[in-house]
Amino acid sequence: MELRHLRYFIAVAEELHFGHAAVRLHMAQPPLSQQIRALEDELGARLFARTSRSVSLTPAGQAYLVEVRAVLAKVEEAGRLARRIQQGEAGELIVGYMNPAMDAVLCRALAAFREQRPLVDLRLRELPTSAQLEELRAGRLDLGFIRLVHAQEQAGRAPQGKAQRGQDLTGLKTRVVAREPYVLALPEGHRLAALDVVPLAAASSEPLILFPRASMPALHEAMLGALRAAGAEPHVVQEAPGKHASLALVAAGFGVCLVPASACDWLRKGVVLRPVTAGLPVVEMAAAWRAGAEHPAAQALVDLAAG
């Protein structure tokens, strides 16, 4: 039995005339009659009572019509859902992100995405870049928003005798969605807060609050390398996993920290932000996904983030 047999049955049941049903179906009457008989034989039930003057539904045919209409409605609904998913308008989208990406671009993009595609079930997971790359390759994320670190950011900055290794993006595609500079977070009243732009050499000599190396090793080395190049050996007094914790420690007077410029959206009381002179890596955030596993809804979110 095929779906076309069910459609043949409905046409005859609604027209109650084989000739009219055949015209409606754009086919000849004899093949239609044969298909209906074959359907009845397969079901083991008479669906129509036929006379030389009329066609009517049997009780079995009336019950079958109700069920067949429901089946075809579900088939059509499934087709619409498949088309919506193919167009990125429905289904599930699992997105990884790191906090700077959320602050810089993703918050705005998610608001627009949810308004445009309300039937997409968004699942968000906050993860460091390294974990996102693993989850993307394993197929547990459809899309990630990561911090890119380029090889040139690390050139010449590795401790002597140690090789630098950048991000492994094998099997992934990326698209840059935002770039922003680092700024220096200082306790309110700090002597450097009086400057409009803080020399990087002055910043490098201050007690530093920095994220753990294990979370983003390449960026960690790039940051320390830039501070060393400015003329002082960085003195890391405290590690903090994210900018909110780092800013709280700055407010408490533990030291200074370097945060993306988008941190101004969440500036903590007791902290001031100042630009620094050139030398630090640029914060470059990108969308990442598995090559060959493009998700239409994911690409729509990437477009919004990049816009």
Check whether residue 100 and residue 144 sit in a common domain. Answer: yes
The pTM score is 0.66
Which residues partner with 179 through β-bridges? 284
d(CA 259, CA 245): 11
Last residue of a domain, one of 66, 86, 106: 86
The CATH number of whichever domain residue 55 belongs to comes to 1.10.10.10
d(CA 302, CA 145): 9
**Structure confidence by residue, pLDDT tens digits, 241-252:** 888 899 999 999
Total domains present in the chain:
3
C-beta separation of 290 from 136 below 8 A: yes
Check whether residue 10 and residue 34 sit in a common domain. Answer: yes
- At 149 the three-state DSSP class reads coil
Check whether residue 156 and residue 16 sit in a common domain. Answer: no
> Digits of tens for pLDDT over the chain (307 positions)?
789 999 999 999 999 999 999 999 999 999 999 999 999 999 999 999 998 889 999 999 999 999 999 999 999 888 887 887 777 777 899 999 988 888 889 999 999 999 999 999 999 999 988 899 999 999 999 999 998 876 444 433 433 333 334 578 999 999 999 998 999 999 999 999 999 999 999 998 999 999 998 877 878 888 899 999 998 889 999 999 888 899 999 999 999 999 988 888 777 899 999 999 999 988 889 999 999 887 889 999 999 999 8
Per-residue b or e along 107-129, where b marks 16 or more CB atoms closer than 10 Å to that residue's CB: eebbeebeeebeebeeeeeebbb
Check whether residue 16 and residue 60 sit in a common domain. Answer: yes
d(CA 265, CA 184): 15
Q: Which domain holds residue 304?
A: 90-178+283-307
Check whether residue 204 and residue 274 sit in a common domain. Answer: yes
- At 271 the three-state DSSP class reads strand
Which residues partner with 290 through β-bridges? 172
Check whether residue 291 and residue 170 sit in a common domain. Answer: yes
Question: Considering only CA atoms, which of 282, 281, 292 is closest in space to residue 170?
Answer: 292
Last residue of a domain, one of 71, 86, 101: 86
Q: How far is CA 152 from the centre of its chain?
A: 28
Check whether residue 133 and residue 198 sit in a common domain. Answer: no
d(CA 204, CA 209): 11
Check whether residue 189 and residue 235 sit in a common domain. Answer: yes
